[in-house]
Chain A
Amino acid sequence: MRPAPDRPLLSVRGLGKRYGAQTGCLDVGFDLWPGEVIGVVGESGSGKTTVLNCLSGRVGADAGRVEYAARDGRVVDVLREDESARRRLLRSEWGLVHQNPRDGLRMGVSAGANVGEPLMALGARHYGGIRGQALDWLAQVEIGLDRIDDLPETFSGGMLQRLQIARNLVTRPRLVLMDEPTGGLDVSVQARLLDLLRGLVAELDLSAVIVTHDLAVARLLAHRLIVMRGGEAVESGLTDQVLDDPQHPYTQLLVSSVLHP
């Protein structure tokens, strides 16, 4: 076992974002420890994605503080870091998996180039080396190696999502932000993807924030849960605890709404 870390990888305090009169999220805070997966659940419009977008800097937060313990030991004030340093951090230590893989992939270039691009962005300049790593990662996400030169256009939805995951993990990030990674996939493909994700997270010792409305996904992947409603975190705790013994009326409603076939 590795020694207990002395500080969280990501520390979020009082995160807030307003869209005019609308509340995006309000006073959201949590700590993400190395190797931990946090699930953010809630209905559509509850502010889950806003939280994720504020973390990744795609949306500027109005309030709060996000601290990230970088690989080199520095503590980065993510929201106040200048853009070049933040983008560099995003490229080298973070991954971002979009709900729609088309948002996270370059559809006009081959699968190999999609996986290789983050490496090239970090300065890899050896074609053979880049291709080798791309092949390696395609194998890890269970995409046939003969598909490396095919355009993503020719891939199925599940393959696209796995390709996006390969593209995100090729740089060996420490933190991955995922927005509904299984959204829009049919149930059997979802199960396979979840299996894969769970294996990769454990194997690579990843920390992740996973936004999902699907409690089954949260149950499988997340160690801890944050339940959001109307932009606020109404309940948080260990996944099993929150799902099996929900305290907040909204969480109770959420849990009881799930169909059990």
Chain B
Amino acid sequence: MSRYNFAYLDEHTKRMIRRAILKAVAVPGYQVPFGSREMPLSYGWGTGGVQVTASVIGPDDVLKVIDQGADDTTNAVSIRKFFERTAAVRTTTRTDEATLIQTRHRIPETPLRAGQILVLQVPIPEPLRWLEPREAETRTMHALEEYGVMYVRLYEDITRHGKVAQTYEYPVLVNGRYLMRPSPIPKFDNPKLDGNPALLLFGAGREKRIYAVPPHTRVRSLDFDDHPFEVEHWERPCALCGARGVFLDEIIMDDKGGRLFVCSDTDFCARRQAAGQTSGDRP
């Protein structure tokens, strides 16, 4: 433990990343380049998120780490342990107790509050990437607000599938200005980006970009007037806690087609169960 600087990164690196974060907060949705470092973690496992967390974490912070909504998956456990060892911070699985939450794929069901920071791990930050391969051109498109081509993708989806088939990384417009890829969260979580009282930071390690949605920022999911944005919904409530209106994971129970739909947010589900809610109850 003592052989590492606090939170692993050296202070100069943290300063550099904090500067990038400040710029990202000042220009909501804009991708700020930063000097991403090698981390003791492979690319694709959250190197961007870990660097952002390491730069903003303090000794008094309480850290929660989520992977696919769960606190007990490999990546969540490893990253939590990493900061326990290198920063000796207190960790938790409770969303309401945490001051700093690093996440992959989900925004917690429990509403965030002012003062909390949510760090999202981002694999590919550029929303226009699969439409325009040239980085110089996508930057120009952002600079000139040329986002028509993003609608081409939505148009194609509606033409082929009758609705927008994109279910995650659903493109959003931040503060009426920058097009943003909200990391691979399901589009179910998109409405939680809008006007959120917490600070949302996005870190992409391999692509070396940081961007942010400051508290109470307008975030609008792209749509057509006659095909408005919709989120997923499930016919049945969570099989464990009975919650409705939350994001459910499908669990295959056997090889005869048995399946169960349960909350993807394990902390939310466990606390509802502890409070005596079961699938028989209605929230």
Residues of chain A touching chain B, judged by Cβ–Cβ distance below 8 Å, are 83-84, 87, 106, 109-110, 112-113, 116-118, 120-123, 125-131, 149
List the A residue with the shortest CB-CB distance to B164.
A127
A137 to chain B, nearest CB (A): 15
Q: Which residue of A lies closest to B155 (CB)?
A: A113
Pick the residue among B149, B223, B226 that contacts A117 (CB under 8 A).
B149
Interface: B158 (CB within 8 A) = yes
Q: Return the contact of B148 from the options A121, A128, A131 (Cβ within 8 A).
A: A121
- State whether the Cβ of B251 lies closer than 8 Å to any Cβ in chain A: no
- Tell me which residues across on chain A come within 8 A of B90, comparing CB atoms: none
Give Cα distance in the complex from A37 to B133, angstroms: 36
Known: A110-B159, A149-B159, A149-B160. A128 touches B152 (CB 8 A): no
Is B38 an interface position by the 8 A CB rule? no
Q: How many residues of B contact A (CB 8 A)?
A: 19
Q: Is chain B's binding surface mostly helix, strand, loop or mixed?
A: helix
Q: How many pairs of A and B residues are in contact by the CB < 8 Å rule?
A: 55
Are B144 and A120 in contact, CB atoms less than 8 angstroms apart? Answer: no
A110-B159, A112-B159, A113-B156 known; A125-B146 Cβ under 8 A: no
Contact A126 B224 (CB under 8 A): yes
CB distance from B149 to the nearest CB of A (A): 7
A130 contacts which chain B residues (CB < 8 A)?
A: 155
- Distance (whole angstroms) from the CB of B128 to the closest CB of chain A: 13
Q: Is the contact region of chain A dominated by helix, strand, or loop, or is it mixed? A: helix
Residue among A112, A125, A131 making CB contact with B151, cutoff 8 Å: A125
A126 to B154, CA, bound (A): 11
Task: Pick from A112, A128, A149: contact of B226, CB below 8 A.
Answer: A128
Known: A121-B146, A121-B149, A125-B224. A116 touches B155 (CB 8 A): yes
The residues of A that contact B156 with a CB separation of less than 8 Å are: 109-110, 113
Closest beta carbon of chain A to B201's beta carbon, Å: 29
Is B227 on the interface with A (CB-CB < 8 A)? yes
Contacts of A106 in B (CB 8 A): 152
Contact status B152-A113, CB under 8 Å: yes
Expressed in whole angstroms, the Cα–Cα distance for A112 and B152 within the complex equals 10
Q: Mark B189-233, 1 if CB is under 8 A from A, else 0.
A: 000000000000000000000000000000000011111000000
Whether B144 and A117, one on each chain, are in contact in the complex, defined by CB atoms closer than 8 angstroms, is no
- Report whether B148 and A117 are in contact in the complex, using a CB–CB cutoff of 8 Å: yes
Closest CB in chain A relative to B4 CB, distance in Å = 47
Contact of B144 among A83, A126, A128, A131 (CB under 8 A): A83
Q: B225 contacts which chain A residues (CB < 8 A)?
A: 125-127
* Given A83-B144, A126-B225: A117 touches B158 (CB 8 Å cut-off): no
Report the minimum CB–CB distance from B96 to chain A (whole Å): 39
Q: List 6 A-B contacts (CB under 8 A).
A: A83-B144, A84-B144, A113-B159, A117-B152, A122-B148, A125-B223
Q: How far is the CA of A121 from the CA of B146 in the complex (A)?
A: 7
Q: How far is the CB of B46 from chain A (nearest CB, A)?
A: 31
Chain B contacts with A in 91-131, Cβ cutoff 8 A: none
Query: Contacting A126 at CB < 8 Å: which of B140, B149, B152, B226?
Result: B226
Q: Are B144 and A127 in contact (CB under 8 A)?
A: no
